[in-house]
Amino acid sequence: MNIVIIGAGYVGLVTGACLADVGNRVTCVDHDPAKLDALQRGQVPFYEPDLDAVIVRNVAAERLSFAASLEPAMRHADIAFIAVGTPATEDGSADLSHVLAASAELGRAVERDTVIVVKSTVPVGTCERVQRTIDAELRMRGVPWRATVASNPEFLKEGSAVDDFQRPDRIIVGTDDPQAQRLLAALYAPYNRNRDRLIVTDVRSAEFTKYASNVMLATRISLMNELARLAEKVGVDIEAVRHGTGADPRIGHHFLYAGVGYGGSCLPKDVRALARLAAEHDQSTPLLDSVQAINDAQKRLLSAKIREHLHGRLEGATVALWGLAFKPNTDDIREAPSLVLIDELLRAGATIRAYDPVAAERVRQAVPDARLQLCRNARAACEGADVLAVVTEWREFKSPDFRWLAQTLAQRAVFDGRNLYDPQYVEDCGLRYYGIGRGRRE
């Protein structure tokens, strides 16, 4: 098939590259000249494991190309995906300006009957707005073409996006149009062979399913974080509790980790957007409100623990910080817990020596403060530091040399924001250990 993707970000680029990889001809369209320039030079503008190889392979095979505008690719397009950003606005609602601008552009560029697929995460009712926007442009042009809008929310995870796209656990398609349904079933057939993962619903249910999935994940994290706070008070290790509760198949082990809160470009904004949608329909959302409040507090927990260990004296202290990305295997720092910790430490007068395998440059641009020193590796970050805080669970942080840390960190303490370490072992090596919900009887 001939495919056009609007928006060459994490979702659009992965979708485009993977669809090209199974034989489709794909054009990824993006407005950002820097991004486009990088892609045309064969560089992926962000870090995502395995993505560069898929892009290089398909550009070489002439199945994947990049463009600044929809013409001429729309002349041959069977399907056009909208995969532009839907960030949060001031009031928490999803900013649909990019989606609606892309829709208007599509209406001006459609040159044949085309299925338009909204992949961006959008509130219920948005696909209908997209349809109206495109139809208005088509009417103005007086052309006979039909654009059929369908919803197909994306569930890939940054850090394993290529694998997630190629081996999805579900493919949600929202449409009432049999032709669009057939076309999308054919498009996704390569990923749907050993069992049927295609779930076809009406458009609004598909839009809602994406938000429902993300708020469930966020709720699980905030619930674990609330339990962790109590565990700490009553002398219980939340890690033991996690193993015990996760063993129940109705609960399961995934996404059950206490930590420094969820971040990234999806969970925070999607929880806010769903709460906002409810407010617009005069429905209160006490649970979603608590999920957000717990998460906001959780992001500030580590700085409070560090302050306490240093007897309130953060001014002049040096904190080594391992991990800046909102999770491992990505350089995405959108709403990362590290940014809250950095902000609190800098405002309290501390110096930070930070290391992240791939996200350092993005943080440098976001926080241009000389007291945030970006270091070349994990050990270098600890040199001259008083304490160490671990915020992202990159593999290389999982088994550090604690004896070396005990000799290096002046105030001999590790703040484990992801519960990576065995508290007793760390303390046996001569360090004070602080985790999230790692209560123990003294």
Active site residues: 266
Q: Which residues bind ligand NAD (CB under 6 A)?
A: 6-12, 29-32, 35, 83-86, 98, 101-102, 105, 120-121, 154, 156, 158, 265-266
Which of residues 158 and 416 has its CB atom nearest to ligand NAD in the complex?
158
Which of residues 109 and 314 has its CB atom nearest to ligand NAD in the complex?
109
Residue 244, amino acid: G
Show the tokens assigned to 436: 């999230």
Minimum Å distance from CB 118 to ligand NAD? 9
User: Which of helix, strand or coil describes residue 270?
Assistant: helix
Minimum Å distance from CB 6 to ligand NAD? 5
Minimum Å distance from CB 264 to ligand NAD? 7
Which of residues 73 and 405 has its CB atom nearest to ligand NAD in the complex?
73
Minimum Å distance from CB 311 to ligand NAD? 41
DSSP string for residues in 143-204: ----EEEEE------TTSHHHHHHS-S-EEEE-S-HHHHHHHHHHHGGGSSSS--EEEE-HH
User: Contact at 8 Å (CB) between 96 and 126?
Assistant: yes
d(CA 132, CA 150) in angstroms, rounded, equals 13
Which of residues 203 and 413 has its CB atom nearest to ligand NAD in the complex?
203
Which of residues 85 and 357 has its CB atom nearest to ligand NAD in the complex?
85
Q: Tell the burial category of 100 from Cβ atoms under 10 Å away from its Cβ (0-12, 13-18, 19+).
A: middle
User: Which of helix, strand or coil describes residue 38?
Assistant: helix
d(CA 163, CA 166) in angstroms, rounded, equals 5
Minimum Å distance from CB 269 to ligand NAD? 7
Give the CA dihedral 280, 295, 396, 373, nearest 10 degrees.
100
User: Contact at 8 Å (CB) between 59 and 41?
Assistant: no
Which of residues 67 and 380 has its CB atom nearest to ligand NAD in the complex?
67
d(CA 269, CA 417) in angstroms, rounded, equals 22
d(CA 237, CA 221) in angstroms, rounded, equals 16
Minimum Å distance from CB 89 to ligand NAD? 13
* Percent composition of the chain: helix, strand, coil (DSSP 3-state, to 5): 45, 15, 40
Minimum Å distance from CB 13 to ligand NAD? 7
Where do we find the tokens 């007793």?
424
Q: Nearest-CB residue to ligand NAD?
A: 9
| Best CA proximity match to 188, nearest among 7, 18, 17, 27 | 18
Show the tokens assigned to 200: 């076809």
Which of residues 83 and 256 has its CB atom nearest to ligand NAD in the complex?
83
Residue 64, amino acid: L
